[in-house]
Homo-oligomer: A and B are copies of this chain.
Amino acid sequence: MRIVLDAMGSDTCPDPEVQASLEAAELFGDEIILVGPADQLEKKIIEIDSSYKGVQVVNATDAITMNDKGLALALKAKRNNSKTSMAIGMDLVKNKEADAFVTAGNTGGAMATAYFRLGVIPGVERPALTSLFPVKGGHCVVLDIGANPDCKPEHLAQFAIMGNIYANKVLGKNNPRVAILSNGEEPGKGNELVKAAFPLIAASGVNFIGNVEGKELFGGEADVVVTDGFTGNILVKSSEAVAKLITDLLKEQLMRSFWTKIGGLLSKPAFAEIKHFMDPGEVGAAPLLGINGLVFIGHGRSDAHAMVSAIRAARQAVSSNLLESIKDAIQQQITRV
C-alpha cells in the first residue's frame, strides 16, 4: 500500500510531516511518499534518521498555503503543470502510483485540487467534506461541513449513502445509524431543505433514524449526521469555539486562588482526558467523499501523532475498499431511482 503525505500542509510544516512519514513507514511497514521540496525534505529526514528507508520523497517546488484563495488558488489546483505538493501528490493517486493522499493543508485548496485532478465519482452530484465529531462514547461522522454551502435535497441523500459506507467500512460501525441535523427531533421539523431531503434519505436504504438536534448528536445517538455545508461548517466551528471558551474560562478561574491552583494541579489527569477528547490528533483526518480517489484532510494544527493517525485512517479506507464500495452504492442508487 502506498500513501502520499503532503509535506507542505500543516501550520508548522514540514517538520511534523517528515516525522510522521518516518514513523508511519516504520509502524505500518509500507512506503510513505512524501511530497514537497525534495532537497529540504531529504536533509530533514537524514537529520532524524541517517539510514532512513521506507520514505520516498517526490519533489514539488510549489505549495498551496493558508493564504491562497480565489482564482490564484483555483489555478494552482487546476493547471496541468501545477507544481504544488497537492497537485503532484494527487496526480500520483490519479495515475495509480499511490492509493491515497493525506494533507493537513488548506481545506479549500485540497477540495479544489481533488475536484480538478481526480474528478467526482460517476453519479455523485456533489462531493462532501466530512468531519469526525467527538461525541459521548465515540465519534460521529458529520457531512457536509463546508464543501457545498447551498445544497439540494438530492445532495443530502447522497451524503447519507456515502457517510453510511464510510462509517461502516472505515470506522467499523455495524449498520450505522444515519440522521439528518434539524431544528427539532420530530418528523416534519426542519427547514425546506431538511423536509424535502427526509423522504429521500428514508428511501435510500440506509438505517435512517430521522431528525437529530445537537443534544442527540453530541449524546452519541447517531453514527452519521448529514447536513448542508453551510450549517455543517457553522456546527463544527461553533462547537470548537464553545469547547475552547469553556476550557479557557476554567483555566482562568483555576488560576485565581492558591487552593483552586492546587485543585487544578490535582485535576490535571482529568483535564488531560478532556484535551485528549478534543484533540484533532485522535481522529487524524476525514475524507472528501464523492471524489474519484481517496483524499484525507486533517486539521492544520496537526502534529506528527495526528498525521500518523491520518495515515492510519487512509490505510483503513484503502484496505476496506471504501472507494469501490461508494461507487457501487451510488450506482445502486441511480438504478433504483
| Chain A residues with a Cβ under 8 A of chain B | 69, 135-136, 146, 149-150, 181, 183, 186, 190-192, 194, 213-215, 217-219, 228-231, 233-235, 237-250, 253-254, 256-257, 259-260, 262-271, 273-274, 277-278
- A297 to nearest B CB, angstroms? 16
Say yes or no: A254-B238 contact (C-beta < 8 A), given A218-B245, A245-B135: no
Top-8 shortest CB links A-B: A263-B266, A214-B238, A263-B267, A253-B270, A214-B241, A183-B233, A214-B237, A218-B241
Is there an interface contact between B238 and A217, defined as CB atoms closer than 8 Å? yes
Which residues of chain B come closer than 8 Å to A237, judged between CB atoms?
183, 213-215
Q: State A219–B278 Cα separation when bound (angstroms).
A: 19
Grouping DSSP codes into helix (H, G, I), strand (E, B) and loop, the A interface class, with mixed when no group exceeds half, is helix
Is there an interface contact between B230 and A190, defined as CB atoms closer than 8 Å? yes
Q: State which of B243, B264, B267 has its C-beta within 8 Å of the C-beta of A242.
A: B243
Q: State which of B234, B243, B254, B270 has its C-beta within 8 Å of the C-beta of A235.
A: B234
Is there an interface contact between B242 and A270, defined as CB atoms closer than 8 Å? no
Q: State A244–B229 Cα separation when bound (angstroms).
A: 25
Say yes or no: A219-B191 contact (C-beta < 8 A), given A146-B183, A253-B273, A264-B263: no
Q: State A278–B253 Cα separation when bound (angstroms).
A: 14
Among residues of B, the one whose C-beta sits closest to the C-beta of A263 is B266
Which residues of chain B come closer than 8 Å to A150, judged between CB atoms?
191-192
Which residues of chain B come closer than 8 Å to A181, judged between CB atoms?
234
Say yes or no: A215-B235 contact (C-beta < 8 A), given A150-B191, A254-B267: no
- A221 to nearest B CB, angstroms? 11
Q: State which of B218, B238, B262 has its C-beta within 8 Å of the C-beta of A218.
A: B238
Q: State which of B149, B250, B266 has its C-beta within 8 Å of the C-beta of A260.
A: B266
Is there an interface contact between B246 and A274, defined as CB atoms closer than 8 Å? yes
- A101 to nearest B CB, angstroms? 24
Is there an interface contact between A270 and B264, defined as CB atoms closer than 8 Å? yes
Which residues of chain B come closer than 8 Å to A183, judged between CB atoms?
146, 149, 229-230, 233-234, 237
